[in-house]
Amino acid sequence: MPKQKAVLGGLLAVAVLALLGGTTAGPARTAAGTTYTVTVSSTTDGTTESTIGANEGCARFDVNDLVDAGFTNYRIYAGMSRLEPQDDDGVFGSPSIAQIESGGPSTIDWTQWNTEFTRPDGYFWTGCSPTPSVQVSLQSMLSALKANNIKPIIVLRPVDNNGAPSWASQLNPPTTAAAQNEWWEFVYAWVYYADVTLGLGIDDWEVHNEPDNSSQGWGGTEQDYLNFTRLTADAIHYVYSHYLPGRTPNVYAPVSTHANNWISDSLNANDDVIDVVDWHRYGPPLAEAQEIQGWITQYNADGIHEPLMLSEWGSYRGSYGLNDGMNYAGYLLDHDTDGGRVNESSVFPMYDWTSQMTGLVHGDGTRAVAYYAFRLMNRGINGSKTQYAISTNIPSTVSARAFSAKDAAGTVWTEVLNSGAQNLTFTVDLSALGKTTGTVTFHQYSSSQLDTVTGTGTLSGGKVTFTVPAHSIVQVQA
């Protein structure tokens, strides 16, 4: 979000901007010398995403990367392959749900749970290539997230995308009483050990991962999944009601690959147990988000309009270059569009899984270029900021858009995205928000400025004029 000193006009001001680095008001102008206006009104337009975060990756974990990027949730795959690679008591179907409810936590042998939570090679269960040089335990990861107020979102599934663990195939899906006992015990034990024994404060639980995509491990039908959702939610709520007074869990479902019938059918059958509607979209999100929001309204037996979670988006092909960052910044603005709002999201992935499936940060800590686009955008929109309606004179032939929101401290953040090949000049008007005088700070994301401060400008009558270089984002902090 860069900007040199913004000036309201005059050759001297242009020269000053040029000296302050990067872009100047002169070059920013089109051939016709057009200055586009962005007028921020005092009319509120909802709130921005409550939390923007990332999916885990096996090559690395350093909570400081998440903090620096401004991410506030972290999605973790932690089914049976990670925490119960062998049946914890060696007797399939034991203990039963009734025995656990009667005997409580003493009915479970916690030895294996302690082992799997604390084992230093926390990614033993997945094919990580290359093998990370620095390993991390699941418990230390979750503890670091808690200490930094980053919300873990836990993916629960019996069998993963590698077909592991093999012993769990007999409860995939859990259609027999013995299989249901095993799954209910697993979920009960996960929640109890993490939240009661360790006090990790985890409240967000996903029911499987892409059950509509058989390559992700689900071995049952859609109807089996609907039953599975209720069984999972029952175990979660049992722990909360008996051991976590005053706490409320959030059950996410159906975690589908697209806006499809798995979502509408889940809402129709399980609206009373689904707290967050969850889906994946690798591509423009708005049309699918609008369709799902319509289903949430249509299938609303419990009278609650559940929030919408986009728990995988971005790229699983390592596409995190400069233009990818611009593209994903635009998607983030789509998330805050009326009628198709995304209330929570997690980019995939934060770290590398393989040399082909790379993330925003690599195993050695090197950051992909697009990382800085997310950092800039998170600063301005993450965290339920007050969004304002804006008006512009940007024609449809110009690849630019703008957005403005205010945080709880009163700072107004305005982003101008220029995806075109020409430098552009903009005047932002903040006078309706009472920002009539004072200094603004410019941050820029471009090929030469990776989320750096490029200067300051002065508001005059609430207005400030500045250049947005081609293929860049400028953020105005007032």
User: How many whole angstroms separate alpha carbon 387 and alpha carbon 40?
Assistant: 10
The encoded tokens of residue 372 equal 């800085």
Distance CA 5, CA 21 (A): 9
What are the structural domains, with CATH classification, of the chain? Answer: 11-48+386-477 (2.60.40.1180), 51-381 (3.20.20.80)
pLDDT tens digits, residue range 42-80?
A: 999 999 999 999 999 999 999 999 999 999 999 999 999
SS3 label, residue 403 = strand
Q: How many CB atoms lie within 10 A of CB 241?
A: 11
3-state class percentages of the chain: helix first, strand second, coil last, to nearest 5 = 35, 25, 40
Q: Residue 16: name the closest of 4, 34, 27 by CA.
A: 4
> Do 211 and 254 contact (CB within 8 A), yes or no?
yes
| pLDDT of res. 133 | 82
Please tell me whether residue 411 adopts helix, strand or coil conformation.
coil
Task: Indicate if the pLDDT at residue 21 is higher than 70.
Answer: no
CB neighbours of residue 326 within 10 Å: 20
Which pLDDT score is estimated for 130? 86
Cis preceding linkage at 469, omega within 30: no
pLDDT at residue 29 tops 80:
no
Instruction: Provide the mean pLDDT of the chain.
Output: 93
- CA–CA gap between residue 407 and residue 413 (Å, rounded): 8
154: Cβ–Cβ under 8 A, 6 or more apart, which residues?
76, 78, 190, 202, 204, 205, 206
Give the span between the Cα atoms of 182 and 253, in whole angstroms.
21
* Residue 102 φ then ψ, to 5°: -80, -45
Say if residues 174 and 180 touch (Cβ distance below 8 Å).
Answer: yes
Q: Are strands 151-156 and 73-77 parallel, antiparallel or unpaired?
A: parallel
The pLDDT tens digits for 199-250 are 999 999 999 999 999 999 999 999 999 999 999 999 999 999 999 999 999 9
Cα dihedral across residues 58, 61, 67, 72: positive or negative: positive
- Residue range 2-16, pLDDT digits in tens: 233 233 233 323 332
Average pLDDT over residues 451-466: 98
Encoded tokens for 344: 């929570």
Burial label, 382 (beta-carbon count in 10 A; 0-12, 13-18, 19+)? buried
Give me the residues paired with residue 475 across strands.
Answer: 415, 443
| Nearest C-alpha neighbor of 212 from the set 194, 227, 224 | 224
Predicted confidence (pLDDT) per residue in 244-265, tens digit: 999 999 999 999 999 999 999 9
pLDDT of amino acid 23: 35
Return phi, psi of residue 52, to 5°.
Answer: -120, 130
Task: Output the pTM of the full model.
Answer: 0.93
Please tell me whether the peptide bond between 95 and the residue prior to it is cis, using omega within 30 degrees of 0: yes
* Closest C-alpha to 345, from 309, 378, 302: 309
Distance CA(58)–CA(424), nearest Å, equals 41
CA distance 259 to 55: 20
- Burial call 49-70: b when 16+ CB within 10 Å, e when fewer: bbbbbbbbbbbbbebebbeebb
DSSP summary character for residue 56: -
pLDDT at 33: 72
Nearest to 23 by CA among 449, 342, 476: 449
Cα separation, 90 vs 236, whole angstroms: 23
Tokens of 420: 């075109």
